[in-house]
């Protein structure tokens, strides 16, 4: 019986040591966070440090040698009118897109939570713009907005709204409207799904009590639904702002920044100068302006969310 008792003691000590490690929240938390930390350092931290270093050098595609030039790249982009146009377009693109994304996402979320036959099919169709690769969906819009064979123009002509083609991507104002419209079309499903989760978390008894008290649809919307889901709406706005601020695919595929750089944004202009223009140092300097602007927007939105949660 002695060997069996010693074996039991050994197994108990091993189990105890395992439980002791498993019960140490500090160790487990770092083990769980380690993959995310490595991912952020490898794919965000290292490229950011390289971008800062390149912006202070004269690195080009033809000459990768690192020579310190200080703030010369920033002085050059400050004197470039296209940079200021790109900065203004980025702010305009983000502000207008986020307004329509939040509004349409809220409306679509209300539709998706309604109880009707076939709502699962409708939800699937709503998610298609977000699940479709952005380049593929944008190329489809490039065909739809074609200057000669646009089916949108054909329908408008048949209805009698227009007499000739609109040249959606050939006129500065229409080109910016087209870029914003396509981007809103892409991100509305994501915002709708996030807001739908917030709407489903609103207690039904609160809505029913308000209905019994005589509150109409719009009063319930502005006094109950929106205040209770405001943090979720703010989070969806934050995600939308991040995706919008750093997106260049829609601009690149639809207009390539044209006509005459009227639809350039910071992300696309940094790509054209740094990659296609081979001026990596100046491209990195342009791209760095995305960081403080996006950081300020994220801090502002998160502060609003925190105040909502406290109140």
What is the dihedral sign for C-alpha 163, 169, 175, 180? positive
pLDDT digits (tens, 9 = 90+) for 73-86: 888 999 999 999 99
Could you give the CA distance from residue 155 to residue 14 in angstroms, rounded to a whole number? 75
Q: State the pLDDT at residue 1.
A: 46
For residues 188 and 101, give the distance between their C-alpha atoms in angstroms, rounded to a whole number: 5
Is pLDDT larger for residue 30 or for residue 19? 30
Helices (H) and strands (E) in the chain, counts: 16, 0
- The span from the CA of 44 to the CA of 39, in Å, is 8
- Cβ atoms of 265 and 252 closer than 8 Å: no
- Name beta bridge partners: 68: 57
pTM: predicted TM-score of the whole model, two decimal places: 0.81
Sketch the domain layout of the chain as residue ranges: 81-310
Task: Identify which has the larger pLDDT, 110 or 264.
Answer: 264
pLDDT of residue 308: 66
Does the domain spanning 81-310 belong to CATH 1.10.10.10?
no
**Tens-digit pLDDT profile for residues 183-231:** 999 888 888 888 888 887 777 777 778 788 777 777 878 777 877 788 7
């Amino acid at each position: 019986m002695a060997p069996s008792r010693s074996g039991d003691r050994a197994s108990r000590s091993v189990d105890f040591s395992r439980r002791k490690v498993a019960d140490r929240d500090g160790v487990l938390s770092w083990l769980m966070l380690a993959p995310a930390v490595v991912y952020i350092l490898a794919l965000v931290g290292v490229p950011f440090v390289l971008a800062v270093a390149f912006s202070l050098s004269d690195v080009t595609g033809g000459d990768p040698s690192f020579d310190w030039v200080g703030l010369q790249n920033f002085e050059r982009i400050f004197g470039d009118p296209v940079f200021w146009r790109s900065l203004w377009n980025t702010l305009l693109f983000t502000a207008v897109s986020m307004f329509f994304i939040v509004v349409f996402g809220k409306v679509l979320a209300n539709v998706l939570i309604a109880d009707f036959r076939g709502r699962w099919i409708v939800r699937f169709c709503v998610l298609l713009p977000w699940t479709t690769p952005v380049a593929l969906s944008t190329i489809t819009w490039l065909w739809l907005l074609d200057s000669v064979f646009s089916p949108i123009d054909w329908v408008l002509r048949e209805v009698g709204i227009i007499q000739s083609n609109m040249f959606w991507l050939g006129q500065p104002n229409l080109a910016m409207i087209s870029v914003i419209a396509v981007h809103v079309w892409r991100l509305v499903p994501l915002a709708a799904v996030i807001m739908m989760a917030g709407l489903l978390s609103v207690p039904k008894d609160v809505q029913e009590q308000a209905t019994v008290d005589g509150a109409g649809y719009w009063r319930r919307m502005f006094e109950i639904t929106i205040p209770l889901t405001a943090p979720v709406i703010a989070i969806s706005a934050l995600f939308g702002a991040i995706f919008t601020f750093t997106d260049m695919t829609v601009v690149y595929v639809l207009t390539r920044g044209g006509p005459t750089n009227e639809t350039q944004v910071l992300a696309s202009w940094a790509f054209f100068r740094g990659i296609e223009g081979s001026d990596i140092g100046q491209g990195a300097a342009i791209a760095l302006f995305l960081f403080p602007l996006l950081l300020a927007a994220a801090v502002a939105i998160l502060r609003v969310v925190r105040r909502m949660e406290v109140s």
